[in-house]
Amino acid sequence: MADPVPRTLAALRRAEAQCTRCPLYQNATRVVPGEGPPQASLMMVGEQPGNDEDLAGHPFVGPAGKLLDRAIVDAGLDRTAIFVTNAVKHFKFEIRGKRRLHKRPDSHEIERCKWWNDIERRLIQPALIVALGATAARSLTGKPVAVQKIRGTLLTLEDGAKILVTSHPSSLLRIPDREDRHLQYKAFVKDLRRCASYLSAT
């Protein structure tokens, strides 16, 4: 029997909280659903919740989220008007001492969680979707994506949805060289400014 399709964001959150579509629910603290206005014109899709998001139950509240918030402001966008979510809704990690370290979702986990992301898109119907990193891009396009080859370019999915692929903010935090990190941050903001320009023209 097919799963019933939630018809509101509230129903979607309740359904996601019961998700057993892949094994990740077994070790995560909780599901982390998307958040934002129900008719947001811009949707941002990350990879998965991190440790902070898993504990808080909200997306993009950790260090990468804070960097994203700053970049959104620098790009001239309004954070409160954006729906933010993740390609995978549960935190995947490995234990290292007392720490839970991020582990990249595999293709099966991405595919199983795509059900939820497709419902989010149908409910919100954003004018533009930003894929933050390779996992989000794979979830949205259905195939592996080389982020650096297509970043900043507006693409059209098979269903007509417009997406822009860029880096995940967590990748910027991992750059050891300060000058290089600054340059990559500027490139990231430039990508987000393209989003602002596109939305203002539509």
Residue 51 CA from chain centroid, whole number = 15
DSSP string, 52-68: HHHHHTSSS-SHHHHHH
The token pair at 145 is 């994506």
Read off the pTM. Answer: 0.96
The count of other CB atoms within 10 Å of the CB of residue 91 is: 25
Q: What is the mean pLDDT of residues 181-193?
A: 97
On the question of pLDDT at 40 being above 70, the answer is yes
Q: How far apart are CA 100 and CA 120, in angstroms?
A: 28
- pLDDT higher than threshold 70 for residue 1: no
- 78-102 mean pLDDT: 95
Which tokens belong to 179?
């000058």
pLDDT for 149 equals 93
Distance, CA of 16 to CA of 18 (rounded, Å): 5
88 three-state secondary structure? coil
Query: Is 153 in a helix, a strand, or coil?
Result: coil
Q: Is the pLDDT of residue 123 over 80?
A: yes
**What would you measure as the largest C-alpha separation in the chain, in angstroms?**
54
Region 37-61: mean pLDDT is 97
pLDDT at 3: 66
Task: Tokens for 73, please give them.
Answer: 């402001």
Could you give the percent of the chain with pLDDT greater than 90?
96
Does the structural domain 9-201 have CATH classification 3.40.470.10? yes
Rounded Cα–Cα distance for residues 47 and 109 (Å): 11
Mean pLDDT across the stretch 9-22? 96
Q: Shortest CA distance to 152 belongs to which of 92, 196, 108? A: 196
Domains of the chain, by residue range, sit at 9-201
Predicted local distance difference test score (pLDDT) of residue 2? 54
* Sign of the dihedral through C-alpha 16, 18, 19, 25: positive
* Helix (H), strand (E) at residue 199: helix 178-201
Instruction: Give the Cβ contact number of residue 66 at 10 Å.
Output: 14
Structure tokens given for 93: 């990690």
pLDDT band at 4 (very low <50, low <70, confident <90, very high): confident
Summarised one tens digit per residue, pLDDT across range 152-185 is 999 999 999 999 999 999 999 999 999 999 999 9
Whole-number mean pLDDT of the chain?
A: 95
* Average pLDDT rounded to a whole number, residues 134-161: 94
The count of other CB atoms within 10 Å of the CB of residue 19 is 18
Q: What pLDDT is attached to residue 202?
A: 82
